Amino acid sequence: MKKVLILEDEENIRSFVVINLKRAGYEAIEAGTGMEALDKLRENPDIHVAILDIMLPDIDGFEVCRRIRANNKHMGIIMLTARTQEMDKITGLMTGADDYVTKPFSPAELTARIDALYRRIGGDTTVDPELLKQGPFVMNTRNHTLEKSGNRVRLTQVEYAILKLFMLNPGRALSREDILSSVWGREYEGELKIVDVNIRRLRIKIEDDTTNPTYITTVWGYGYKWGA
Ligand code: CA
């Protein structure tokens, strides 16, 4: 059974999530503190998606996210944010989270996000070419790695999925809606700025000069275009 870590110190919210994860066919691994969550992840290397609350009794959810990312680029990470804290979303994404869900959330919304992350990890590689080579970039779709001029570029799952979409559509302007529905799934109802935040991060990793991007160019009022 697919395992999902739920880190949340409020027991009623945690048990609400656990019940709904089980109903959706996932095994829930629970943690009430940041340190406990990191221990559980070490004990269960087969957990591929983690849901992280931000306000916790010990280290906060952003720090947990950073520590997970320090040695695991492929973990799907969803932050639980409070409605009033708009900045949490951006901070979460900048520390390496893939997605966020705002409290109060519906069980269907949360499981849709988890399903989308698991689908990306499972990634249907049978229909894709194994190696995508464009300009200085080589993407290996089997092991989800990217090299630029022979040097490995470490990408999160979301960044990888966006770049793969670009590399499969060279020279084509993709709208932010296209990117959102392709990468996050059609049922995703999040905001378009999540696309921009991820593009910004991706540019930092792959562009020669982020102030003058040449691989991912902006199509004003529409979206982005790939060329390498
Ligand atoms: Ca909390």
Q: What is the tens place of the pLDDT at every residue in 47-100?
A: 889 999 999 999 999 999 999 998 887 889 999 987 666 666 677 777 788 888
CA–CA gap between residue 167 and residue 134 (Å, rounded): 8
Ligand 1 centre from 33 Cα, in Å?
Answer: 9
Quickly name the fold that domain 3-121 has. Rossmann fold (3.40.50)
Q: Which helix (H) or strand (E) holds 23?
A: helix 11-23
Ligand 1 centre from 65 Cα, in Å?
Answer: 15
CA–CA gap between residue 105 and residue 208 (Å, rounded): 40
Ligand 1 centre from 28 Cα, in Å?
Answer: 18
Q: Pick 90 or 11 by higher pLDDT.
A: 11
Residue 126 has pLDDT above 60, yes or no: no
CA–CA gap between residue 34 and residue 217 (Å, rounded): 38
Q: What is the DSSP pairing of strand 145-148 with strand 173-175?
A: unpaired
Quick check: 26 and 1 in contact, CB under 8 A? yes
Return residues with CB closer than 5 A to ligand 1 (ion): 9, 53, 55
Length of the chain, in residues? 228
Ligand 1 centre from 190 Cα, in Å?
Answer: 22
CATH dotted code for 131-226: 1.10.10.10
DSSP state string for 102-138: EES--HHHHHHHHHHHHHHHH---TTS-SEEEETTEE
131-226: same fold as 3-121? no
- pTM of the predicted model as reported, rounded to 2 decimal places: 0.57
Q: Where are the domains of the chain?
A: 3-121, 131-226
CA–CA gap between residue 201 and residue 209 (Å, rounded): 13
CA–CA gap between residue 60 and residue 70 (Å, rounded): 16
